[in-house]
Structure 1
Amino acid sequence: MTLEKFQGIIPAFYACYDDQGNISETRTKDLCDYLYNKGVQGVYVGGSSGECIYQNLEERKSVLSYVANNLKGKMTLIAHVGAPSTRDSIELAKHAAALGYDALSAIPPIYFRLPDSSVFKYWSEIIEATPLDFIIYNIPQTTGYTLSPALFKKLLENKKVIGVKNSSMPTMDIERFKRVGGDDVIIFNGPDEQFVAGRIMGAGAGIGGTYAVMPELFLKANELVQAGNFNEATQIQSDINEIIIALCSLNDGHMYAGIKEILNRRGVNIGSVRSPLEGVSSNDSAKLDAIITTIDQAIERYCG
């Protein structure tokens, strides 16, 4: 088993809706084409950026199908199959396996506070449902559950477990998980605001929700880290963080709504977000203009 195909910049794939708010096959293809042409290494489908928690099972299966139809064999495909019930997660896992995805991933069970034994059983049942590699998704700020190094070590006894998508904020967590797994695992940096720090602390790749709105900057930052040019990589990270802060400071719209509007202005219309997330309004127009300018200037500065 090689981890090579899981390295690099892997954008979290956005939900693509038509004007009525339904999953759009055409717009999903447009986003696939856009990301493929940007040269990213893969996509992470059906996670937070994909608004999975607001989609039903059939919609999630459709998204997995549409992405596979367009990108299978072209880049690495990771399917996030975490769902409120183990049964639904397994159904999604089997669907992704049949479509030819490279790996599965899942958040821990949500809503009820469960002990490690329940979380271990949940992940284990998903893992055993298919022959695919599995990536644990640790995001305690939204799930309320924190993966411990001890449970990670126990899960690694199953050779299908190849790593963690770590979205907890302390970069020390990346170092701890890497210490447990060593060279046999890959840790994905989750928080986009600490991509460079995460890579330096042991992450072999990144999966992020803002990558697709500025892939050039993350690709360049990753290239610089690989070359050992941490000074310039840190400068790019600083500009990335300014952009993320601005995206999180819109007057009305959610960050993902702002990202989708920016992509729309660049000719990639993937609709807006699904309620209860709020879409952008005219009150956000000037801020979005400023964000686009900041992104373009950064791309010119570092990649031009």
Structure 2
Amino acid sequence: MTSWDLQKFKGVFVAMYSAYDVSGEISVNRVKKLANYYVDSGVKGLYVGGSSGEGILQSSDERKKVLEAIMEEVGSQLTIIAHTGANSTRESKELAIHAEKCGVDAISSVPAIYYRLSEQSVERHWQEMIDATSLPFIIYNIPQTTGFQLTQPLFKRMAAQEKVIGIKMSGESVYELQQFKANAGKEFLVFNGPDEQFLGGRIMGADGGIGGTYGVMPELFCQLDSYFQKGMIKEAQALQEKINSIITRLLSYPSLYGACKAILSIRGIETGEPRLPLLPIEESHWDDLKVLNKEIEESITLVKG
């Protein structure tokens, strides 16, 4: 039986984007403006410093700066999950301790990247963060980028701990998602990761989702979640198909994050270019993106009725 209120973690979480100034440095003002943009969108919270937030491309000081700005601005209004994973366990622990001082609701982490690590190494990496704070911990499983396949035996050992309350399942198999839920029990939180299968994840037991493309269409994902909860599966399927057509177009640009940040710029929310090696949007793509943004905004208007 967990001692945490798990309801605050159930629903739609935007994987927060980076927010830089024109020189490519962290802009506290832009971070705060972006965080505020999501407050009234209906989302449950923000996942900070993950893939969409470019946490792995930022220094520890930059990541701390971003988290502090978000907590100061919207920490009392949204549930905040801080991704504290870094290449070194020492840095990850430091970020976890800082996150607790900031007052976040939970911490989360990928396995360390670059080195091909054993299960024992990954388990130790996560455990050091878990033991460093009193916060609940959410495993971040994304094998297609980390190269680490989370096995069910390791997952069961991690999930048996009271502090480990959930998993962000960004692998592409809804069967595997269902198995994580089955092996950990009903109270254990499973977040769907792949945005294009949000509905499939929810049907197979996910308690909500954390996603990057949510950031340009949070209202669509909130409506999709609402359709699911009301048992309106045909409507949910149709909306997921619409969302997927948008995602397919976003993926056609040089970088997904560049495209998403450009769409926000079109709406007056400036977040700068993604940090290299993530590519920015080319000048020739802006007209297409304006058309896509209009389509997204029309879809949002439609679901709002």
Check whether the contact 1:189–1:207 (CA below 8 A) recurs between aligned residues: yes
Aligned pairs for 1:210-225 within 5 A: 210-225=213-228
Percent of pairs with identical residues? 46
TM-score by length of 1: 0.97
SS at match of 1:27: helix
Equivalent residue, structure 2, for 1:27: 30
CA drift at 1:212 = 1.2
Aligned pairs for 1:10-21 within 5 A: 10-21=13-24
Aligned pairs for 1:89-238 within 5 A: 89-238=92-241
The letter for the 1-side match of 2:271 is I
Which residue, out of 9, 12, 23, partners 1:9?
A: 12
Aligned pairs for 1:44-55 within 5 A: 44-55=47-58
CA drift at 1:130 = 0.1
Check whether the contact 1:105–1:136 (CA below 8 A) recurs between aligned residues: yes
Check whether the contact 2:108–2:139 (CA below 8 A) recurs between aligned residues: yes
Indicate the larger mover: 275-284 or 17-26: 275-284
CA RMSD after TM alignment: 1.0
Check whether the contact 1:8–1:41 (CA below 8 A) recurs between aligned residues: yes
SS at match of 2:107: strand
Aligned pairs for 1:240-251 within 5 A: 240-250=243-253
Check whether the contact 2:93–2:132 (CA below 8 A) recurs between aligned residues: yes
Question: Deviation digits for residues 204-242 of structure 1, max 9, x if unmatched?
Answer: 010000101001100000000001111111111111111
CA drift at 1:286 = 2.7
Q: Structure 1: 5+ residue runs without aligned partners?
A: none
Equivalent residue, structure 1, for 2:277: 276
Which residue, out of 83, 88, 101, partners 1:85?
A: 88
Cα distance in 2, alignment partners of residues 36 and 2 from structure 1:
20
Check whether the contact 2:160–2:184 (CA below 8 A) recurs between aligned residues: no
The letter for the 1-side match of 2:268 is G
Cα distance in 1, alignment partners of residues 97 and 110 from structure 2:
17
The letter for the 2-side match of 1:116 is E
Check whether the contact 1:137–1:166 (CA below 8 A) recurs between aligned residues: yes
The letter for the 2-side match of 1:215 is P
Cα distance in 1, alignment partners of residues 276 and 123 from structure 2:
32
Check whether the contact 1:90–1:129 (CA below 8 A) recurs between aligned residues: yes
Cα distance in 2, alignment partners of residues 216 and 256 from structure 1:
19
CA drift at 1:301 = 3.1
SS at match of 1:163: strand
SS at match of 1:79: strand
Cα distance in 2, alignment partners of residues 56 and 241 from structure 1:
33
Runs of 4+ that moved beyond 3 A: none
CA drift at 1:254 = 1.2
CA drift at 1:39 = 2.3
SS at match of 1:184: coil
